[in-house]
Structure formats: structure tokens, C-alpha cells
Structure 1
Amino acid sequence: MRTLTLIAALVLTAGPALAGPVTLRANPVDEDGRVTLGDIFEGTGAASGVVVASRAGPSVVFEAGQLQALAARSGLQWSNPQNLRRVVVRNAALAPGAVVPAAASAARPAAPAGATMSVLTYARNLAAGDVVQPEDVVWTDVQAHLAAGGGPSDAEQVIGLSARRALRAGAVVGARDLAAPQVIARNDTVEVAFVAGGVTLTVTGRAMRNAAVGEPVTITNLTSGRQIEAVATGPGQAVAGPQAQVARANAAQYALR
């Protein structure tokens, strides 16, 4: 009896002991719409085939905390060393470098009467100013004539943007519905970082205008009164100098962190 008790205790404690760290893949993709831990992480071992989501459109977006919890359920540990806010898993056929058949790259032919097509729609009502979260949009089949021309082809394109006006659940997502959310408002106190040659200098100033991530913003130095041309990178944060051009060119990357 004592031996059985010891064996049971070892079994119950084996899970956490065997839990190991995993690394996020550089470009997570799936091939069949079933997103597994192995599609997302390297080093998943026996948990590689665990399905954590179904992809209905070109991509599926996870919150970083959500991914950590999903990994932990299978005894895996992801520390998120890059402090990412979200992780996007794409259709392997549409990932950068994928070979797309000529027929698939051709212009989409006109849909016949009564045909349906998959489009991105709002999963809930959004008020003006609400920021779109991964769970706020869903792929839905609608009558082809209801699909908005020029609508987003990837959920990643709209997540993190804010609603220009009130939007109702079930409505097709349109490019004019959304805008980059403002992270700096006029007269806000802003920390401006100047990065050059591996050295970072930080000054505090006051914003002269509103700005979204990646937009230029003029900051007045509170100490000297001089104006600094910077680029917004987050709430109350901006960069100046050579790094400003990098921030402006990679606005979406900053917004996802």
C-alpha cells in the first residue's frame, strides 16, 4: 500500500516537473485551419498536436496571455521574452515566401447571383473610440453583394484600431470604419527617447498635437522650451532622431507590442 501511495504521488507531481520552456516560432503558420501548439511554438514535444484554435480566415490572432495559458494546460512554459501583446498565426499558403498558384493570384471573378463569400464582421457592438480586440471580429459567410469592396483580408489589419463611430454586431468590417487609436493627446506629458550609437537619452516634454502610433508629433522640452520633432510609439512615449524614422515605418509593429 505504501508503494502504491508513493507511485501515485510521483505521478501527480510528474506533470509540472516535466513542463519545459518553449520558443515562439518566428512566423507561426498552419496548413489546414487547425492551429496546434506545434504550429505556434518550437520544442512542444508530445504536445505538438494539441489543437488550440480553428482558423476560418487568412489568420487567427491570440492575446499573449491567452497563449501562455493554453501552453500551460499542456505542461509548457512560454515566458514571452519579447513582451508581445498579440501573436498572429497565418494560413501557410498566404505566408511570406509561400508559392501561390497562378489561378489563386488572379483577380477574383464576379460572384454569381446568390453566391456567398467569407468576410470579416463585428462580433459585438462597438462604441466610437473602442479599440478592436481579437474577439471583436469574426469571419462570416454573407451574400456576395453585401461584401464591402476593399474590405480587410486579414483580421490582423484591424485589430488594435479604434472605431470612428458606433458599429453594430454582424456588420461587415469596412476600411472607413476604423482608424489608428490616439496614444498621445495635445498637452500630454511625453517621455521622448533619443537613441544613437547604442546610447539612449530621455527628455520630458509636452505634446503640441494629438498622435497615433507611428505619427509625427511635436514635443516642447519642459526644461529648455525647445521643440523636438518626434514619432509616437505608445501612450506618453515617443522617439526622436534616427529611431523616429524606424518607428514611423514600423507603426503596426509598435502597436502590437
Structure 2
Amino acid sequence: MLRLTLCWALCAAATPGWAEQLVAARTIRAQTVLAAEDVQVEPGTRAGTFTEPAEVVGLETRVTLYAGRPIRISDLGKPAIVERNQFLPLIFLKGGLTIRTEGRALERAGIGETIRVMNAASKATVNARLAKDGAAYVTQ
């Protein structure tokens, strides 16, 4: 009996305590900016998930979040300021040279994200980083 009690005590000590994870309070469609009431904290652990509501408030869902399921880091991103097919300033920077033209965003994106943009004049596609001002900057 002592051996069984000792074994149980050692197993219990080796088991990590439950941490908390963030789950969706309801089903939330993609491209929704999250508010505090959209999430809830539940016991459990899963790698790559959020643990605090403050971490996700103001972020946008990249996929549909289902009620009661953990919210993964890859499910959220910065709110989009550019929509697919939207025209935007396309700015090429190299050394002291700056070229401004018009481009068309080929995907939705938020500030600081790198997206594909098609040069409206040449139809060439480039990768550009989206700035706070809504312009796409290409640096080479």
C-alpha cells in the first residue's frame, strides 16, 4: 500500500498544473476585430495559443473561430487597412532614388505586413511592406 501511495504522489508531482488558455466565446467570422467579450479564459494548455484577453483585443481574425476552441496565434493578425484589389501608392526606394507609382494590392493586409502588389503601369508583381500611411514600400 505504501508503494502505491508513493507512486501516486510521484506521478501527481510530475504532472504540470493546469494553465489557462483563451477560447472563443462564440463563433466569430473571419475578418472580425476582437473585443473583450468575444473571448473567455478556460483551463488547459496548448502550445501556440493565447492566454490573456488583453493579448487579442483589437486584433483581427484571419479564420473563423469556433465557440469553445482555443485561439491560436496564427488565427489572428493586425487589422487590415488594405483590401484585395485596392489601389494604393507603390513606392520604390533604393539608395537615394525614390519612384512613386500606383499599385494594386493582391491580398488583404495590415500595417507592417509584406504583401504582393502589382504595378498598375508595368503589370509587374513585387513584394512590398505596408506602411501606416497606406502606401506599399519596396526596398531593395
TM-score, length-scaled by structure 2: 0.57
Alignment coverage as a number of residue pairs: 122
Is the counterpart of residue 161 in structure 1 residue 63 in structure 2?
A: no
Distance 2:74 2:57 in 1: 10
Whether contact under 8 Å (2:31, 2:60) holds in the other structure is no
Q: Which residue of 2 aligns with 1:110?
A: 15
Distance 1:206 1:162 in 2: 23
Query: Could you say what secondary structure the match of 1:203 adopts?
Result: strand
Distance 2:127 2:57 in 1: 25
Whether contact under 8 Å (2:29, 2:61) holds in the other structure is no
Q: Percent identity?
A: 20
Whether contact under 8 Å (2:91, 2:138) holds in the other structure is yes
Distance 2:56 2:97 in 1: 34
Is the counterpart of residue 126 in structure 1 residue 25 in structure 2?
A: no
Distance 1:227 1:136 in 2: 41
Q: Decide which structure has greater helix share.
A: 1
Q: Which residue of 1 aligns with 2:71?
A: 174
Distance 1:198 1:156 in 2: 39
Distance 1:210 1:188 in 2: 9
Distance 1:219 1:198 in 2: 23
Q: Which runs of 5+ in 1 are unaligned?
A: 1-108, 243-257
Report the alpha carbon displacement of residue 175 of structure 1 after superposing the two structures with TM: 1.6
Letter of the 2:85 counterpart? N
Whether contact under 8 Å (1:186, 1:210) holds in the other structure is yes
Whether contact under 8 Å (1:185, 1:211) holds in the other structure is yes
User: Per-residue displacement from partner, 1:14-38 (whole Å, max 9, x unpaired)?
Assistant: xxxxxxxxxxxxxxxxxxxxxxxxx
Whether contact under 8 Å (2:117, 2:125) holds in the other structure is yes
Report the alpha carbon displacement of residue 210 of structure 1 after superposing the two structures with TM: 1.4
Is the counterpart of residue 220 in structure 1 residue 119 in structure 2?
A: yes
Letter of the 1:227 counterpart? A
Q: Which runs of 5+ in 2 are unaligned?
A: 1-13
Q: Which residue of 2 aligns with 1:73?
A: none
TM-score, length-scaled by structure 1: 0.36
Whether contact under 8 Å (2:34, 2:60) holds in the other structure is yes
Q: Kindly tell me: are residues 157 and 215 of structure 1, through their superposed partners in 2, closer, same or farther at Cα, counting changes over 3 Å? A: farther
Distance 1:238 1:201 in 2: 12
Distance 1:135 1:203 in 2: 42
Structure with more contact order per residue of length (Cα contacts < 8 Å, sep ≥ 6):
2
